[in-house]
Amino acid sequence: MTGEHRPAPQQTVAGTPPARSPGRDRYLDLLRAVALLRVVAYHTFTGVGWLSIAFPAMGVMFALAGSLMARSLERPAGPVLRSRARRLLLPLWVFAAVVLGVVLWEGWRPTTAGGWWGLLLWFVPVGDAPAPASVGPEQGPMDPAWALQSADLLWYIRTYFWLMLLSPWLLRAFRRWPWPTLLAPLVPAVLLGLGVVTFPAPFDSPVTDLVTFAACWLLGFAHHDGLLARIPLRRVLLVGGALMAAGLWWAWLHVAENGWDLYLTPLAQALWSLGACVLLLRVSPSWAVLPRPLRFLGPAVTLINNRAVTIYLWHNVLAALTVPLIDPLWRVSALERSVPWLLGSAWLQLVLVWVLLAGVILAVGWVEDVAARRPPRLWPTGRARPRATLAA
C-alpha cells in the first residue's frame, strides 16, 4: 500500500534485484485488459478461433499472474498463498452459488462420480466441476448448455489455483535452475500432444491445462526477476519467433473442420502462447502511467483490472442471457425492417454482454475488494492503487 515499508526483494538468478517500480505497471495492466477483452469477444462471437492466434489472451494472463506471484513471494509464502486464495475463491463462491442455485432449482441433481460431494469442486477448484449438459427446455430462450459452458470456463480458475499453490516451490526451482525449470513444462506438453502419454478422464483436462500454460507462468518469474530483460533483443526475437512458428506449424497439422483454433490443440497453444509472451514481456516498458495517446483508456483499464475475476467468471453466462434479450426485438416490425443486420449481429450481442457485465460489476464486483481487504467500491475506475490486484 502507499507509504508502507516494502521488504527488500529476493535476489534474482543473476544476484541482483529487478529494477522495477514497486507500484503498478500500467503496461501489464493494459495487457491484462486487452486479454480480457479478447476472452469476452472469443466467447461471444462464433467461429472466431483465429482470435486465439491474433492475441494469446490466456497465455498472457498466466504470464502476468506469474510475474505478480513472484513479486508477492518477496514476502513469506504462507500469508501470500492465503491472500491469493482468498482473492480468487471469494468471487468464485459467489458465482458458484448463483449458478448451482439456478440449476438445482431447475431440478438437476449431480449423478457423476462423487455425487453431491463433487459440487465442492465449484468452490475448491482442484478438478473439473460437475454440471448438467442441459438446463431448461431445449427450445427455451437461453442456450440449455449455459451451465456446462460456465463449468468449462473454470479450467482457468483451476489451473491458476494449482500454479498458485505450487509457486513457492516453482520459484525456488526457477531461481536455482532458471532455464531447465522454465522449459520443463514443454516436455509433458509435447508428450501429451504426440499421444505418447495419456491420462484417464478425471485427470486428463487438469494435467493438460497445467502443462500447456505452466511455461507462461514461469516466464512471468523470468520477467519479474529481470532475467528476460537481460537477454539480447535479437536473441529474444529469434527464440520467440521460433516458438510461435512451431506452434503455428503444429496447429496447421491439426486444423479442425471449423478452422484454426489453438484451444483445440494444446501443444500449439503452449508453443504459440509462450513465444508471444516472450516477445510481449521482453519489450515490456515499465509505465507508472499510460502514455499520453492511451491515457484516455486509463479508467477502463483500471476498472477491468480491479474486476478481472468478476468479468472472467460471469461473461459467458451473460452472453447466453443476451439471446432472450435480443429475440423480442425481432417482433418490433420497425426494427425488423430497418436494422435486421443489427439484430442479427454478434456485435450487438457483444455490446449487451458488456452492459450486463456493468450490472454484475455493480452488484457483486465489490466482493473482489472484500477479498483483497480493501474498502468496497462499486465502480473502481480511479487512480490505480499500488497494491496489485489478482491477475485473472
pLDDT recorded at residue 22: 57
Closest CA to 286 of 83, 42, 13, 31: 31
pLDDT recorded at residue 113: 63
pLDDT recorded at residue 115: 85
Contact 64, 32 (CB under 8 A): yes
pLDDT recorded at residue 20: 53
Percentages (nearest 5) of helix, strand, coil residues in the chain = 70, 0, 30
pLDDT recorded at residue 258: 72
Residues of the chain where predicted confidence (pLDDT) is lower than 70: 1-22, 113, 139-140, 383-392
* Per-residue exposure over 102-135, b if at least 16 CB sit within 10 Å of its own CB, e if not: bbeeeebebeeeeeeebbebbeebebbbbbbeeb
pLDDT recorded at residue 142: 82
pLDDT recorded at residue 244: 98
Helices (H) and strands (E) in the chain, counts: 17, 0
Model pTM score:
0.91
pLDDT recorded at residue 383: 55
pLDDT recorded at residue 11: 41
**Domain boundaries along the sequence of the chain:** 299-392
* Helix, strand or coil, per DSSP, at residue 46: coil
pLDDT recorded at residue 6: 34
pLDDT recorded at residue 55: 97
